[in-house]
């Protein structure tokens, strides 16, 4: 179930920052038509830090109903409060999500034992497949491979999104983890490398704007067609880099708006893409043939 191109979908918003649910439904249909293998709703790219609890639940419920079983729906339910993470994860289960994505607690910097106890508490409390999410560049907190391996024995902890970008680290985890533990990349630029080493796919930002190519790259990589996977990745690599010229999801929402798929809304403290990067993003889109010339 959890493999291939799993898109960390943006949360469409109107210019005033309110949720644009109709555009979310249309965006989900676009992704499924283009081959996206799974929808990750209310993750970092979905602006999870700035949606409130009711909006969080609305977004998960909308994704589940619109997908209607066509692909897996993975709900972001992590928090830096263990109690809050349990409540969100339980709600995601009730709303029909297929799995949950739990980011490492941010800002409060728990120890490795604290991380273990946090994730174990959520997994003990809610019977739903759970994916750990390690993104130390965002959280200021790094889940060590040893802690991941401790957690991998829990029946409800089925995998990890590794957004460290460290191939040596990913290789170590792939060599030591149980065979049924799913290692997913959370870093588009190194995702192909991790898949060729045994990773099962990527939770992707690039897939928001180039879903068909990301899906096709993952298909090629997972069946060992290295030449095809490399050729597709070459078309995507500028996007892998330039979609992060400012904090995610600022650049990817700008590209999607240019594609006519969403409106320009984004919530403070995120703001619109700086004008100096408009042509940078347009240039990054050219190899993937995403945007027409203005």
Q: Is 259 exposed, middle or buried (0-12, 13-18, 19+ CB in 10 A)?
A: middle
Catalytic residue among 161, 200, 242, 253: 161
Selection from 104, 78, 101, 48 nearest residue 270 by Cα? 48
Q: Residue 164 and residue 29: Cα distance in Å, rounded?
A: 30
CA proximity to 118, closest of 190, 204, 58, 109: 109
Beta bridge partners of 73: 39
- Which tokens sit at 198? 């045994």
116 tagged catalytic: no
161 in active site? yes
Helices 278-285 and 250-258, axial angle in degrees (round to 10): 70
CA 173 – CA 175 distance, rounded (Å): 5
Q: How far apart are CA 174 and CA 131, in angstroms?
A: 15
Question: How many CA atoms lie within 13 Å of 65's alpha carbon, on the beta-carbon side?
Answer: 12
CB 152 within 8 A of CB 182: no
Q: Which residue out of 93, 116, 133, 200 is catalytically annotated?
A: 133
Q: Is the bond into 249 cis (omega within 30 degrees of 0)? A: yes
Continuous H helices in the chain: 21-34, 53-67, 82-95, 112-125, 136-139, 145-151, 167-176, 188-196, 211-222, 226-242, 250-258, 278-285
Q: Of 173, 166, 214, which is closest to residue 190 (Cα–Cα)?
A: 166
Active site residues: 133, 161
């Amino acid at each position: 179930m959890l493999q291939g191109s799993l898109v960390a979908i943006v949360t469409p918003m109107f210019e005033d920052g309110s949720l644009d649910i109709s555009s979310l439904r249309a965006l989900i249909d676009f992704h499924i038509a283009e081959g996206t293998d799974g929808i990750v709703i209310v993750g970092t790219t979905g602006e999870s830090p700035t949606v409130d609890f009711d909006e969080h639940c609305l977004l998960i419920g909308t994704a589940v109903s619109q997908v209607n079983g066509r692909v897996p729906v993975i709900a972001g339910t992590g928090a830096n409060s263990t109690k809050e993470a349990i409540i969100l994860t339980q709600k995601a289960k009730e709303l029909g999500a297929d799995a949950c994505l739990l980011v490492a607690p941010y800002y409060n910097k728990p120890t490795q034992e604290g991380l273990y106890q946090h994730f174990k508490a959520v997994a003990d409390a809610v019977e739903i497949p759970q994916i750990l999410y390690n993104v130390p560049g965002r959280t200021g907190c790094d889940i060590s491979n040893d802690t991941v391996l401790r957690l991998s024995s829990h029946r409800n902890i089925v995998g990890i999104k590794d957004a460290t970008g460290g191939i040596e680290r990913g290789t170590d985890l792939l060599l030591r983890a149980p065979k049924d533990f799913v290692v997913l990349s959370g870093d588009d630029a190194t995702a192909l490398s991790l898949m060729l080493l045994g990773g099962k796919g990527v939770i992707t930002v690039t897939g928001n704007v180039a879903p068909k190519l990301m899906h096709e790259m993952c298909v090629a990589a997972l069946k060992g067609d290295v030449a095809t996977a490399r050729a597709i990745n070459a078309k995507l690599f500028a996007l892998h880099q330039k979609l992060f010229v400012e904090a995610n999801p600022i650049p990817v929402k700008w590209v999607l708006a240019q594609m006519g798929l969403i409106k320009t809304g984004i919530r403070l403290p995120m703001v619109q893409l700086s004008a100096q990067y408009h042509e940078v993003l347009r240039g990054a889109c050219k190899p993937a043939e995403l945007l027409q010339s203005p």
